[in-house]
């Protein structure tokens, strides 16, 4: 029984020190594995409790049967001895007289003492005659010796049975308390597991929403990348036009006319670029907000969200860099628009302003080169962000599948825990019955002790 109680304490220690802390930390796989590994241990523990209860019941029944048998035997012996001795006394009194009266009276007094349940079984008749009276006295003394031995054995047996009953009652009570605590622990564990399953299901829903948002980010990043590539191509074309305009500036009129047209197209393109940069800036701002929200959700997810938090932080940094680059490009575009407007106005001044026009166009070409470089950087960063977002979406799906698996395992563990709690409740009821029977047996033994305590068995 002590081994079973120690096993129960070890099992509860595993639940309190390993399973519940892992569950609180969100380590459901490891917590579920440890909890399921304890199933055989719990079954073995319950089997030991049942075996111990059955053994104690058998011992109790055997002790009760022995006590009842011994009590009946003693009463029968005493009753038979009293009847035998009384009849013997009457016969001897009728057949003998005179000198036989005194020994017979001694025997009669001893029998009356035994009949009153205050008999001294250590006292003996002192008869020295060698006749039939002496033989009767010796036989009576032998009967007292045997009766003394029987009563002493009954007293010792009743004491042993009483001690055994008390031990059974104490151990059964302790087992009931341990089993009740086990039942309470199992009920609390089941409640905690049910709560964790609910939290996991909520986390799974949140992961689905987050995966959808990340997929939208990836699609938006892909669109921005395509727009950046188109803008870069247009910027390259504008740069080529400027170079060609510089070559053709030798013919003033044609150069002025061609340059005027190029400048007009440049203004149109810069307006388009300005619009695209506004879109990029807005997208970068939205991406920054989404990354911030993702970081918050990752923090809520605990241990499972650490990797996602790092990715979200990198996405936020990329979004901030994209917004800064877009701001720089926008500033350059405004400068280019101002310069090209001046160049367009200066085209009307004719040949005298051609040299200055060439300088302005060259400046514009340099600015376009910078624009192309910035746009290429933005395109590269957006491609990386798109790839990262796709990886995040894939990771979200894997995490969602893992959460669903943990929820399923947790439900199974909760069911096993509930069944164990019910079994522990049944075991408590059985032990309560055993404790009541032990108490009843103790009462019976005490009554037997009262009966045999009237006889003196020790000198």
* CATH number of the domain where residue 378 is located: 1.10.287
Mean confidence (pLDDT) of the chain? 65
C-beta of residue 168 within 8 angstroms of C-beta of residue 439:
no
CA proximity to 200, closest of 410, 407, 413, 411: 407
Same domain, 107 and 214: no
Ordered DSSP codes for 188-213: HHHHHHHHHHHHHHHHHHHHHHHHHH
- Same domain? For 297 and 340 the reply is yes
Please check whether residues 148 and 273 belong to one and the same domain: no
Largest Cα span, the chain? 182
In tens, the pLDDT along 316-348 reads 777 677 778 777 777 876 787 777 777 666 666
| Residue % of the chain over a pLDDT of 70 | 19
* Number of residues written out for the chain: 459
Query: How far apart, in Å, are the Cα atoms of 457 and each of 72, 86, 321, 404?
Result: 19, 22, 105, 77
Same domain flag for 229 and 360:
yes
> How large is the average pLDDT for residues 367-393?
68
CA distance 42 to 427: 13
**Given 3-state DSSP classes, what are the helix, strand and coil percentages for the chain, each rounded to the nearest 5?**
95, 0, 5
Q: Is the dihedral of CA 235, 236, 239, 245 positive or negative?
A: negative
Indicate the number of domains in the chain.
Answer: 2
Tokens representing 47? 């089997």
Same domain, 86 and 104: yes
Asked if residue 133 is part of any domain, the answer here is: yes
- Clarify whether residues 324 and 346 are in a common domain: yes
**CA-CA distance, 365 to 360, in Å (whole number)?**
9
Residue 322 confidence (pLDDT) = 72
Q: Has residue 457 been placed in a domain?
A: no
**Residue 146: inside a domain:** yes
The confidence band for 25, taking pLDDT boundaries of 50, 70 and 90, is confident
CA geometry: angle 209, 324, 213, nearest 5 deg: 5
pLDDT band at 275 (very low <50, low <70, confident <90, very high): confident
Q: Is residue 29 part of a domain?
A: yes
Q: Tell me the two tokens of residue 175.
A: 């087992």
Q: What's the domain range around 135?
A: 2-196+419-452
pLDDT for 448? 63
What confidence score (pLDDT) does residue 191 get?
Answer: 64
Q: In this structure, is residue 142 part of a structural domain?
A: yes
193: number of Cβ within 10 Å? 27
Given a cut of 60, is residue 99 above it in pLDDT?
no
Residues 99 and 114 in one domain: yes
* 209 and 350 share one domain: yes
Nearest-angstrom CA–CA distance, 322 and 216: 18
Average the pLDDT over 159-171 and give the result: 65
Neighbours of 58 (CB within 10 A): 10
Contact 211, 393 (CB under 8 A): yes
pLDDT of residue 334: 77
């Amino acid at each position: 029984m002590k081994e079973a109680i120690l096993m129960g304490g070890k099992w509860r220690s595993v639940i309190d020190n390993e399973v519940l802390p892992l569950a609180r930390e969100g380590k459901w796989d490891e917590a579920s594995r440890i909890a399921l590994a304890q199933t055989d241990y719990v079954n073995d523990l319950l089997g030991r409790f049942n075996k111990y209860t059955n053994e104690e019941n058998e011992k109790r029944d055997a002790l009760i049967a022995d006590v009842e048998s011994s009590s009946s035997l003693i009463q029968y012996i005493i009753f038979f001895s009293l009847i035998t001795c009384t009849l013997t006394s009457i016969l001897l009194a009728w057949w003998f007289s005179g000198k036989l009266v005194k020994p017979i009276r001694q025997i009669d007094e001893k029998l009356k003492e035994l009949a009153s349940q205050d008999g001294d079984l250590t006292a003996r008749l002192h008869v020295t005659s060698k006749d039939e009276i002496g033989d009767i006295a010796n036989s009576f003394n032998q009967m007292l010796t045997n009766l003394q031995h029987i009563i002493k054995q009954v007293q010792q047996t009743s004491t042993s049975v009483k001690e055994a009953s008390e031990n059974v009652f104490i151990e059964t009570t302790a087992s009931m308390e341990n089993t009740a605590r086990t039942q309470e622990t199992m009920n609390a564990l089941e409640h905690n597991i049910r709560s964790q399953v609910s939290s996991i299901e909520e986390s799974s829903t949140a992961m689905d929403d987050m995966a959808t948002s990340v997929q939208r980010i990836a699609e938006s990043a892909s669109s921005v990348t395509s727009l950046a590539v188109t803008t870069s191509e247009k910027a390259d074309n504008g740069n080529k036009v400027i170079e060609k305009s510089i070559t053709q500036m030798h013919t003033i009129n044609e150069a002025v006319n061609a340059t005027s047209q190029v400048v007009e197209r440049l203004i149109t393109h810069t307006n388009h670029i300005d619009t695209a940069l506004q879109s990029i800036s807005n997208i970068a701002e939205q991406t920054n907000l989404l990354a911030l929200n993702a970081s918050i959700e990752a923090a809520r997810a605990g241990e499972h969200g650490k990797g996602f938090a790092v990715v979200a932080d990198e996405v936020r940094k990329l979004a901030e860099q994209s917004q800064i680059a877009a701001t720089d490009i926008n500033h350059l575009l405004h400068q280019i628009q101002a310069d090209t407007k001046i160049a367009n106005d200066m085209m009307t001044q004719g040949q005298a302003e051609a040299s200055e026009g060439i300088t302005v166009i060259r400046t514009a070409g340099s600015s376009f080169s910078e624009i192309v470089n910035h746009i290429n950087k933005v395109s590269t960063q957006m491609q990386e962000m798109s790839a990262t977002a796709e990886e995040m979406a894939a990771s979200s799906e894997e995490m969602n599948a893992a959460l669903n698996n943990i929820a399923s395992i947790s439900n199974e563990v909760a069911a096993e825990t509930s069944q164990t709690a019910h079994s522990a409740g049944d075991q408590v009821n059985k032990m309560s019955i055993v404790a009541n029977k032990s108490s009843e047996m103790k009462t019976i033994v005490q009554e037997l002790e009262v009966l045999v305590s009237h006889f003196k068995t020790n000198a």
